[in-house]
Every structure is written in C-alpha cells, then in structure tokens.
Amino acid sequence: MSAADNWTPSSWRSKPAAQDVVYPDRAKLDKVLTKLRTLPPLVTPSEIERLRHQLAQVQRNEAFLLHAGDCAESFDACTHENISNKIGLILSFSLILIWGARLPIVRIGRIAGQYAKPRSSATEIIGDREVLSFRGDNVNGLDPNDRTPDPERLLSAYFHSTTTLNYIRALLTSGFASLHHPRDWSLSHVRSPALRAEFERVTEGLSDALDFTRTIGVGRQTASYEEGGPRGALGEVDFYTSHEGLMLEVEEAMTRAFPVPSSFASLATPLVTPAHSRAASPSGTGAGAKAPRVHYNTSAHFIWIGDRTRQLDGAHVEYFRGIRNPIGVKVGPSMKSEELVRLLDVVNADREDGKVTLITRYGAGKVEQFLGDHIDAVKKSGHPVTWICDPMHGNTLTSSSGLKTRNFGTIISEITSCLRVHAEHGSRLGGVSLEFTGELSDDGFSVTECLGGSMELSEEQLGLRYQSFCDPRLNFEQSLDVAFLVSNHLKQERLGRQRSDTDVLYAELGGRKAA
C-alpha cells in the first residue's frame, strides 16, 4: 500500500484515536482549528527535505543523530535564558560527539512544540479530589483547578512555538554556535580524579583542534559577525525541531500540500490534492508548478509516534503514513517483531531512505531480551531505518521522597547495551534520544532531577533544584558525562578498538557490566 492510497490529512478520523482529548466546548475548538489552518507554517518543505537527506546519511553510517530536549515544554519556560541554555547544551554535546566520531552530527531538538504529554490515566487523585490528568500546557493547566481542556491553549502553543523557533534561528545565524568553546566548560563538579583527568584530556584535545583550524584559516575572519563579517564554517549549524505527534486535530491543521522542492521532485511519491489547496510554496515553487505535490506537517521538521499511540489500526499510524516528514517510532518491550515489520510496511510502504527512525526504549535490563530480535526482523524485512537509543523512558523510578527520578548508571548501561547488541547483530546504533536541560535555578545552579553522574548526585539532593513538572532530566553536567562516554565509544570504534567494561569513563560513571 503506497502512502498515496486513500490518504488525506483527515483520513485518520475514521480510526480510533488513543490519548484523545475531550473538549467540552466543541464549537470553540473548531474555531481555533480554523485559525490554525490559516496561520503560516513554522518550518518549510526545503528544511524538511534537508533533514530527510541528513537522516539518510545517518542510516548509511555517514552521520550521527542527537535528539534531545525536554520531556515536555512549558509556556513559562519560554525565556531567552532557557532557550539559550538548551541550545548551548545541544551544541556542546554535539561538539564532543564530533571529536570522537569524526562524523557530522544531525541535531534535532525536542523543542518549539513539545507541549503535549500522554497519560496512562484520564484522571488522577490530588489530595482528596479526582481531577483530569495534566496533559501539557497546550491542553490544560498544572493547577488542579485548571484541568478543563481549553482550545485557546492550542493557539498559545502555536505562538510560543513560533517565538521559540524564531529565537533559535536568530541565535544560530548570529555566531552563537561559535561561542561554545571547550575551554569555557567548568569541570569543577567532577568528583572522581580519574574521570576529571579523562575529561580534561578530551577537552584539551578538542580545544587544540579548534585552535588549529582557526590558525590555518578555517573559521577565522577579518571582522566579527556584528561588524559585518561572515558567519564562518564554525559559526552556523543546522538545527531541527520535533515533537510527539499526539494531538491529531492540531497536526491536521498544520498539514499543508506543497510542491516538492525541485531537487527532490523526482524522488517523492505524489499525493493527489484539491486544486484550491495549490497555494504558493515557501520552498520557492509557485502556483501552477509541474512538481508533484505532497503533504508536509509544517509544525516541526520531525515528529514521532509514541509507545501508547502506535496501534496498527489506530488514527496516529494512519496520519503518519501520509506525511512527507521524516518520522520517529518508539519501540518498547511490548512491541512484537512481526508487529514492528507490519508497522514499517504501513508508515514507509515505499521504503524510502531517511523516512523512519526507530527509537528504542526498553529499560536497561530488557535490552538483551528484545533488541536483537527487533534488529533481525527489520533486517530480514529489508526496510531502511535508522536506529537510535532512548535510555530515559524505560528507566524511571520513584525516590523514597516521592520524586520521579532516573539513575545515571542505568541510563548509560542501556546505551552501552544497545551499542553492543547492535554490533553483535551486524547493525549500528545511529544516535541517542535524551531528555536533558541546560536550565539553571534562580541561584545559577543546574537542576537536580537524576541521580549519579560525575557530580555523584544523591537521593537526598534531588529536592534541592527539582524543576521538572514532567519527567526527570539530565542536567548540564550529567549530559556532558553522556557525551564524553558516547564520544569515547565512537572514537574506539573508529580506531578499530573494542570497549572494555574496565574503561575509565564507563567504570567511573557508574555503568554496570553486562550480565
């Protein structure tokens, strides 16, 4: 079944929709959705096609994918400090990966639209009251007295996403990327002398490499950006946005038919679209063009199907099969191998490169049980996919104080287990999907939401600066710990060496030996 067969942006409505939000005022919702359909796209077809091309490079082991950001964004966190800190952390993380892998890094942020959150129950008990569950800032409020779904929040989410994306674009086109030099990173939080020595060795090598490139003229310019100079090779990077495609009525409203950019026109599968939808395209191809027309979700470059919404006969799979955007699919322990292949048959019927990224999230103790069979089934099917590891969602626990947390040692154990199993099955891990934040508390310190890492955060310290209203995130220091670990693995792989469980980074960061 081709993606074009009997598909429209609204054909999902004939299927059961998991995680659906019930709005008491349907007329108000329809009015908001009508408004969203008229608002400009947040991203362009050319940007989406560029990402597809780069994800195909990841698939061919020519690049590495970093997918990272918040579990769920909040409207209150839409500030220039928070956005700058998040983008700065992603840039620093990717710089460390480049040092080890010597590969381009494809950067996709969970940002500029990641507001909605799935819930296991429609209601929750708070005190002695049963209230509707908090579904994210674009649905209802965190305050128990503000849990009625309000369509106006969907418009607010659009404008917060627009503001966020606008500031990201401004940062990345004005020299911000060149400011994150390794010599500016403080390693004072690292308690282990052996680990600090290892980090210092890597950062010194990375700093020397950057200084060398500038000395020979790469990235050097006669005038600064502010003085009219060019941005330079080191000063501008590609950055893409993403969110979970959870609320299909909003996704439909932001789905637009455009001609494929001319360089991709011969590669895309055309969808038949009504004549009245043939508006001018931001890709530069105007009305009446000969290029095939396809449907893009213009709210983000990349969207994914969650573990709770991937039913083969469900509305989400139906919607995702028809859009041109690259998509992610969460793969957990409940996914049967044959179900995974059938799902790929639906969402990528034409078996296009760069289309599907499989995001595994088993839990550290279940990787060995499930990942190998999934890899073998996909290889046998012939479907082209990119594999990345989400070591966060399968490893959440509740501390003795009642706070949700994750143990750093368990997180890196899932990553290293995935790396090993992929190698054993003739595959390769193409990236990581992390929930992390560069946010700082009011007193200028990193958040304290996950246990362990080089700062050896203890359970008693979780309450010091616990700021997440959703799932616990790695802080700046813990995120760089992961970056050093993955970079070290990629370097050893590049040099043809095998990792040992006695490696300094793995051992000092609390990793567990394989059973």
Position 88 pLDDT exceeds 50: yes
Long-range contacts from 395-404, C-beta under 8 angstroms, 24+ separation: 395/363, 395/364, 396/471, 396/472, 399/451, 399/459, 399/462, 400/459, 401/459, 401/462, 401/463, 403/449, 403/462, 403/463, 403/466, 403/472, 404/468, 404/471, 404/472
Of the pLDDT bands very low, low, confident and very high (cuts 50, 70, 90), residue 199 is confident
- At residue 125, the pLDDT reads 94
Residue 361 annotated as part of some ligand binding site: yes
Residue 485: what residue type?
L
Q: Is 110 annotated as a binding residue?
A: yes
C-beta separation of 499 from 438 below 8 A: no
489 marked as binding residue: no
The conformation of residue 358, written as its DSSP 8-state character, comes to E
- Give the pLDDT score at 197: 78
Written in H, E and C, the secondary structure of 240-300 is: EEEEECCCHHHHHHCEEEEECCHHHCCCCCCCCCCHHHCCCCCCCCCCCCCCCEEEEECCC
Identify the band that residue 214 occupies on the pLDDT scale cut at 50, 70 and 90. confident
Question: What integer is the mean pLDDT of 115-142?
Answer: 94
**Cα–Cα distance between 225 and 283 in angstroms, integer?**
27
Topology of domain 11-221+235-260+292-510 in CATH is TIM Barrel (3.20.20)
Q: How open is the CA angle 58-61-65, to the nearest 5 degrees? A: 35
106 vs 95, more confident? 106
What was the pLDDT predicted at 62? 97
What's the whole-model pTM score?
0.90
**What gap in Å lies between CA 142 and CA 491, rounded to an integer?**
44
Token pair listed for 50: 């560029």
Q: Cα dihedral sign for 443, 446, 447, 449? A: negative
**Average pLDDT value over all residues in the chain:** 87
| Matching residue, tokens 């083969």 | 312
Confidence grade of residue 276 (pLDDT, cut at 50, 70, 90): very low
Q: Is 497 annotated to bind ligand?
A: no
State how far the Cα of 347 lies from the Cα of 330, in Å rounded to an integer.
Answer: 13
The answer, yes or no, to whether residue 184 has pLDDT greater than 90, is: no
Give kind and range of the element (H or E) at residue 27. helix 26-38
- Report phi then psi at 199, rounded to 5: -60, -45
The amino acid sitting at 361 is R
Q: How far apart are CA 136 and CA 459, in angstroms?
A: 27
DSSP 178: G
Q: Is 379 annotated as a binding residue?
A: no
Q: How is the chain split into domains, by residue range?
A: 11-221+235-260+292-510
Mean pLDDT of 215-238: 63
pLDDT value for 228: 66
Assess whether pLDDT exceeds 90 at residue 343: yes
For residue 71, say whether it is annotated as part of any ligand binding site: yes
31 known ligand binder: no
In this prediction, residue 285 has a pLDDT band, given cuts at 50, 70 and 90, of very low
Closest CA to 354 of 108, 180, 4: 108
Check residue 189 and give its pLDDT.
66
Beta-carbon contacts of residue 6 (< 8 Å; ≥ 6 apart): none
